[in-house]
A = this chain, B = another copy of it.
Amino acid sequence: MNILITSGGTSEKIDQVRSITNHSTGQLGKIISEQFLEAGFSVTLVTTPTAVQPKAHPRLTKVIIKDVAELQTVLEKETPTHQVLIHAMAVSDYSPVYMSGFQAVKEAANLEQFLQQTNQEPKISSEEDYQILFLKKNPKLISLVKTWNPDIRLIGFKLLVNVPQDQLLSVARASLEKNQAEMIVANDLSEIQDGKHRAYLVSDQDVQLAETKSDIAQKIYHHITNKG
């Protein structure tokens, strides 16, 4: 069984020196990768340049990507040859389209025109006190996974911040159904600190509670191997 794992956080370029980055240390994806490698599986880890990386291993293939467009290319290529995708990467929802000084936007007759523009300068500069950045929604890659490989077993992740537990679980259940996942690992940033990492592993059958990254990795591993 070939396991495809994503970890780290994507970055979307504003210009050559600035990006919008989704934070993720990559620590959880590293631990999950190690869990499957130790058990004898082959792992392809798609990760980002600043994420922590597992040590080199004969059955580990690493693919480094930066942004959602690169991630899409890699997932479209890799999903057909893998039986499981554990999609732990923090993926950018939006990408920069155009950055402008405040005055130009304020004086414009309509704002749609800015959605068609692109910055020509490799480093956007401005003397103005305020700038405005227009952003466009990225494709939701998790919803495309089954179109690339209908048979792949999909484990998704959902990170929210400071929400009640019932909201976290209902968002996870909606994602489970919408993306045809067999498990969504739902976690709240406020419950990830000091070595603890609380997560709810939501499937059609049940909800398992995990309290650390190792615990999450082990529960995912048992889920995959017991039903594989």
The residues of B that contact A92 with a CB separation of less than 8 Å are 18
| Interface flag for A144 (CB, 8 Å) | no
Partner of A160, one of B19, B123, B137: B123
Known contacts A16-B161, A20-B19: A130-B122 contact under CB 8 Å: no
Q: Do A132 and B132 contact each other (CB < 8 Å), given the known contacts A17-B23, A106-B111, A189-B16?
A: yes
Bound state CA distance, A92 and B133, in angstroms? 15
Bound-state CA distance A18–B131 (Å) is 18
Digit string of A111-129 for contact with B (CB within 8 Å is 1, else 0)? 1100100000111011011
CA of A157 to CA of B127, assembled, Å? 18
- Indicate whether A136 reaches chain B with its CB closer than 8 angstroms: yes
As for how many copies of this chain the complex holds, the number is 2
Total residues of chain A contacting the partner, CB 8 A:
44
Q: What is the minimal beta-carbon distance from A16 to any residue of chain B, in angstroms? A: 5
B161–A94 contact, CB under 8 A? no
- The answer to whether A94 and B131 have CB atoms under 8 Å apart is yes
Which one of B21, B105, B115, B129 lies within 8 Å of A18 (CB-CB)? B21
The answer to whether B23 touches A18, judged by C-beta atoms less than 8 angstroms apart, is yes
Q: Which residues of A contact B (CB under 8 A)?
A: 11, 14-23, 50, 90, 92-94, 97, 102, 105-106, 110-112, 115, 121-123, 125-126, 128-137, 159-162, 189
